[in-house]
Amino acid sequence: MFHVNHLENKVIYQIYPKSFMDSNGDGVGDLKGIISKLEYLAGLGIDYLWLSPINQSPQRDNGYDISDYYAIDPRFGTLEDYKLLIHEAAKWNIKIMMDLVLNHTSTDHAWFQKALAGDAHYQKFYYFSDRPTTATSVFGGSAWNFVPELNKYYFCLFDKTQADLNWDNPEVRQEIYKMVNYWIDLGVQGFRLDVIDSISKDLNNNIVSRGPRFIEYLSELSDQTFQDKILTVGECWNPPLEQMYAMCGEHGLFQAFHFADITHNHRPNKWNLDPLSLKTVVEVYEKWQNQYAGAPAWAMNNHDSPRLLSLWLDDQTYRYESATLLITLYSMFKGNLYLYQGEEIGMTNAHQEDINWYNDIETLNAYQEMKEQGLSEEEIMQKIMKVSRDNARVSMHWNASTYAGFSTVKPWLGLAQNHTTVNVANDLANPQHSIYYYYKSILALRKNFYPHINTMATFHVDDSILTITYPTHKLYANFSAKATDYTPPLAPILISNYEENLPHQLQPYQAIIYQIANG
């Protein structure tokens, strides 16, 4: 067993504020709506609430285009509402994690507007150039956008309304540190840092991520702001172990996402997926459980990803079993566990077939690109229905009413097709078959059992059966709809997602944990 850091063994629940709970009937979720659901959230046994960006924003990329780091977007409420959320959450022993975008600002930000007006001081806050490089945007097309008034281009790794900050300018860094400390002083106790590995670049060589001064800037950010007192998690994609050690240490972030598990079947990208490869994904689990000495950040779902339940398993006939299998598996890994709103009731992909239903800028751009590539409408929509980010951004399903209890008016995005059956009210009405109550049980088990999880484990795959053996317990998971014979240990069952456990047979999508030794 390894040392447990005071920021480890935590459960963090991510809320997409626009889609969680609307308190004032405008179709957009808000801070007062979140406050009204704190008891529900506390019932799960969570430690932190991570809110996707709530800063002022034109919402061209759903809040990840911040126009004022110090202001709360009026869509969500006021600064007083945010203070109240921090205060009320504390009564339930829940800390607030803020989502900050430090790589870029909205082009509506005062800094960028001053730069456009010809202010040379603020032009140095961004990347302006007479000659664009061949760098491409994550959202498609060139990463440079031309400004006729200045006869210059500015760099935008994402949307053209998201101008990248020049972290090589020390004044930019000091402004960022001052702002982070403002929120810490206000009571924020955690930060999720969006695309943090892009803050250092070498544009002359088209290096737009993990540039030459990345670790230096992370260390400086940590030393001048959160140090080791605040839970921080960075958004990174598939960093090698060496990079993770460099990022997450005494002078850096506490942890970062790797997403290697939920992206293992991208061929070559998320719009082209292979089926789940249990053998491949288990190699990811083994790497971060056994080879990484730090505290991994595990997330099955988030605002940028479709529902894992729909991608990997059966979100129809075996929705309960599939959802509870996944949380059983992920609860048994060391580090911190990040949940996403709705997964605790088994919310699925939206299954919306009309492109006009979708809102996400990445999805709409991909739709046009695939059209230009000659794909048929049916082919395109099959891909979009499977992996669009809007699958995760639908309104939270609270009940079976017209707008799912989220609002009294039509929501800003809409609902999944199955909202009348898959919702909180229906789930809680049947405690014996409730995904929420299963989550509550497995998370409590994880909390108390953590020292036995925070150790080496042996992973084994036999066709559709995954077995993980720890010194004191053993997990079996059947990743298929077929009942499969197995030889169970002569040991007590800690938890199972079936009420009745058949001797020598794993049922479809069954997950079961045995206690094989006393610890």
Cβ atoms of 417 and 349 closer than 8 Å:
no
Amino acid (1-letter code) at residue 423: N
117 CB-contact burial (10 Å; exposed 0-12 / middle 13-18 / buried 19+): exposed
> Alpha helices of 302-420 — where are they, by DSSP H?
308-312, 319-331, 361-372, 377-387, 390-393
Which one of 30, 61, 73, 235 is the catalytic residue? 235
Of the candidates 99, 159, 164, 194, the residue annotated as catalytic is 194
CB 196 within 8 A of CB 236: yes
Q: What share of the chain is helix, strand, coil (3-state, %, to 5)?
A: 35, 20, 50
Determine how β-strand 473-478 pairs with β-strand 511-515.
antiparallel
For residues 467 and 475, is the Cβ–Cβ distance under 8 A?
yes
CB atoms within 10 A of CB 176: 21
Taking phi over 0 as left and psi of -120 to 50 as alpha, with beta for the rest, 349 belongs to beta
Contact 387, 365 (CB under 8 A): no
Residue from 40, 20, 39 nearest 30 by CA: 20
235 labelled catalytic: yes
- 56-83: string of b/e by CB count within 10 Å (b at 16+)? bbebbbbbbbbbebeebbebbbeeebbe
With a CB cutoff of 8 Å and minimum separation 6, the contacts of 376 are none
How far apart CA 132 and CA 204 sit, in angstroms, is: 10
Which residues are catalytically annotated?
Answer: 194, 235
